[in-house]
Structure 1
Amino acid sequence: MSKLMKHKGFYGSYEFDFEDEVLHGKIECINDLVTYEASDVAGLKAAFEEAVEDYLETCEMLGKKPDKPMNGSFNVRIGEELHKKAYLKSLEENCSINDIVKRSVNYYLNGSKMIINNHSYHYTNELLNKTERKYEVDFSFNNKESDYKMKAH
């Protein structure tokens, strides 16, 4: 079950307020605060879509861009031990800690595939499902170039 609704490329969150017995949410990833509410799910969906339409009209009238740009940078607190492991892994792979974090987030968001330089590499789960042999995939990353070796066990 998704925690977001989508309409015309915009995402809307939703929550239930037990005290007021109302569903409510806001349009995510925009510069302004645009909220909506309803008493039932169908009404919430309609209220979200109406809020998006109203937001787009308002932005057009004001001559402003509606999307909040993501600048690609955010702070993450991961604790001393994980920080140390990331640092040592970056030394081992001759890359930056930032590259290690990007790979980790990419892997988490894309499941059992890794996207590097707009190329998708499928490994582990998909390989095991297609054959009965186990494979190990070694990735090496050198100056934005990626190579991999596969060896059967």
Structure 2
Amino acid sequence: MDYKGYEAVVNYDEEAKIFSGEVINTRDVITFQGESVSEVEKAFQDSVDDYLEFCESRGEKAAKVF
């Protein structure tokens, strides 16, 4: 998945019946999860937006994507 230049990988845990994902092209850790494809997509976007807002609120630049 891709959002605002951030790329993520998603895995499905059959036992827990949940999708979990992690942004893979930045050194900071950004994770998310959801119970459906649409939920995990929204959680990914929300996590990236939250990360960017957090960095801005602290007066820091977000880690560069690579």
The bucket for the TM-score relative to the shorter chain is 0.7 to 0.9
TM-score, normalised on structure 2? Answer: 0.85
Give the residue type in structure 2 aligned to 1:11: E
Question: What's the counterpart of residue 60 of structure 2?
Answer: 64
* Deviation string, structure 1 residues 12-67 (Cα, Å, up to 9, x no partner): 11000112110010122223211100000011100000001001001111222223
The match for 1:25 is 21
Please say if residues 30 and 66 of structure 1, whose CA atoms lie closer than 8 Å, have aligned partners that are also in contact.
no
Distance of 2:58 and 2:28 partners within structure 1: 13
What pairs with 1:3-152 in structure 2 (closer than 5 Å)? 5-68=1-64
Please provide the CA RMSD for this pair.
1.5
Aligned residues: 66
CA 13–69 in structure 1, closer or farther in 2 if over 3 Å, else same: closer
Question: Hey, which bits of structure 1, 4+ residues long, moved more than 6 A?
Answer: none
* Percent of pairs with identical residues: 32
User: Matched residues in 1 for 2:65 and 2:40: separation?
Assistant: 26
Larger Rg over CA atoms: 1
Which of structures 1 and 2 has the larger relative contact order (alpha carbons within 8 angstroms, sep 6+)? 2
Q: Greater helix share, 1 or 2?
A: 1
Q: Please, which runs of 5 or more residues in structure 1 have no aligned partner?
A: 71-153
Unaligned runs of 5+ in 2: none
Counterpart-to-counterpart distance in 1, 2:65 and 2:24: 12
